[in-house]
Each structure stands twice: as C-alpha cells, then as structure tokens.
Amino acid sequence: MRFRYLRLQLCRPQLYLRKFTNSKHRYKFSYRYFAFAKSLTGSIISIPLLLFYIAGCKKDQPVPPINYGYNYFPNNIGHWVVYHCDSIVYDAFNDNIYSYSYYLEEVINSYITDNSGRQTQLVYRYYRDTPTANWQLKKIWTANLTNTDAERVEDNIRYVKLTFPAQMNASEWNGNEFNTLPAWQYQYTAVDVPITLNNIFFDSTLTVLQFSNVNLLQNQFYEEQYARNTGLIYKQIIDLTAPGIDSPMRGGVMYYQTYVASGN
C-alpha cells in the first residue's frame, strides 16, 4: 500500500525530479521529496524504482483502429478486372478430356437496391476467346458489401465470399449460408501477404480456402485469392471423381482464373 500511495504522489507536480550537473551524480531529488519518501518507506527509495513509478504516470497510448479489409472487395462503379481462364473438363461417360481457354472481364456497372433495401452492385461479365477479339456480354451477377461480409450472387446462387474484419484469427464461416447447398466452412489461410502473380506484384493479398476433400474417390479443392483495391485475383476449382478405388480420376472439372489487368 505504501508503494501504491507513493506512486500516486509521484504523479503530482509538486514532487519532481530535476537534473544535477555534478559529475558524481546524475540526478538530485528535492529535499521535499527526500523527506516524503523516507517517511513512507523508512529509507531512501532507489533511483531505478523511482523512474519505474514515474514511467507509470504516462498516459496510455491510443489503440490503432482496426483495418477491416473492406478494400479487398472494391465496390466503386467503373472498377474492372480482366482474367485469363483455363478449364479442363473430364467426360467420364465418353472417356474424353476437353480443354477451354478464354478471357473474362468483370465490370461494376451500376447500383440497384435489392429486396432488403441494400445497395447492390451490378457486375457485368464479358467474354472473348482471344486478347484482340471484341468483348461479348454474357452474364450479369450481383454483389453486396456490408459491414460484416462480402456476398456475390453467381448464377442465382448467393455466396458469402469474405467476412470482416479480415484476419487470420477470424472464425470460419459458412460460405453457403444463404443458399441451399451443403454447408462449406470457409477460412482465411493467409492475410495481408505480398505475392507475385502472373509477373505482377501485389503488396497485400488474402487467401480463402473454401473447401478441401481429397480421398481415393474424390479430389475437391476450392480456393480464391484477393488483393487490396483490386478484388479477386486468382480462383482455383478442382472437382474430380474416380469410378473406383484403384481407378484414375475420370469425371469432373479443373478451372483456373488468373488476374491479367484492372482499373477504375
């Protein structure tokens, strides 16, 4: 209790520490402090202990604000991203393999208000077979950025792509919460990590593992990567099945969507 009281008293302006220029001593205490300290402790308090208590009088530093990571999911009108897409389809019935390659551009075209009164992005999706061909509008998807998550409606199925704040210690979430598909527990496996993709450097990216299930009959792996101020930069889907335990994978699809360019 004495030391606690002493610490409180040391924070008062009338008890102070002043510099002394004598080479034999670094500090000198006022006579008022000397008498006060001795009356409490019965002896002269040590200089290191005094400095400890004075340091305790400093105000707490402000806590930096949380970076929620909303800019991993841009929602400004005019934002666009171009991808190169590769898909391999395994036709188990005909025992054939088909390969496809094309370019995809996603553009946030405008906003609408959904049935819940939320601002909703209209995402126009354009396709072309080669880098010089004309873009053809094929689909319109929608997206919502809220205080707690980022959602996309893809081919009339709503997915919860991200949750906020985007942190490694964030809890897993059901990406299929708002649809009728089986529950998939999404999780962050990397957050704010610099990477180089397609010879392009991104200083802050996050990775979402959506689903992983590998056994003798199935190979399923779904993953997406996002970059700050860009959005989705890489998507991988592997969903293959085998007709038997000792058989190779014969049915399913492998899909890769890789960032090429973006702008606003």
What pLDDT sits at residue 35? 47
Exposed, middle or buried by CB within 10 Å (0-12, 13-18, 19+), for 40? Answer: middle
What pLDDT sits at residue 244? 77
For Cα atoms 126, 132, 133, give the angle at the middle one, nearest 5 degrees: 50
Q: What is the pTM of this model?
A: 0.76
The domain segmentation of the chain, as residue ranges, is: 2-55, 70-263
C-beta of residue 107 within 8 angstroms of C-beta of residue 123:
yes
Rounded Cα–Cα distance for residues 182 and 109 (Å): 31
What pLDDT sits at residue 249? 74
User: Per the omega criterion (within 30 degrees of 0), is the bond before 165 cis?
Assistant: yes
pLDDT per residue, tens digit, the chain (264 aa), is: 444 444 444 444 444 444 444 444 444 444 444 444 444 445 444 555 545 555 555 556 666 667 899 999 999 999 999 999 999 999 887 888 999 999 999 999 999 999 889 999 999 999 999 999 999 999 999 999 999 999 999 999 999 999 999 999 999 999 999 999 999 999 999 999 999 999 999 999 999 999 999 998 899 999 999 999 999 999 999 999 987 777 777 799 999 999 999 999
Beta strand 218-227 with 200-214 is antiparallel
Residue showing tokens 């964030």 = 170
Pairs from 259-262 (Cβ < 8 Å, separation ≥ 24): 259/81, 259/82, 259/83, 259/197, 259/198, 259/200, 259/227, 259/230, 259/232, 259/233, 259/234, 260/82, 260/83, 260/84, 260/103, 260/198, 261/81, 261/82, 262/79, 262/80, 262/81, 262/82, 262/230, 262/231
What pLDDT sits at residue 80? 98
What pLDDT sits at residue 24? 46
CATH number at 70-263: 2.40.360
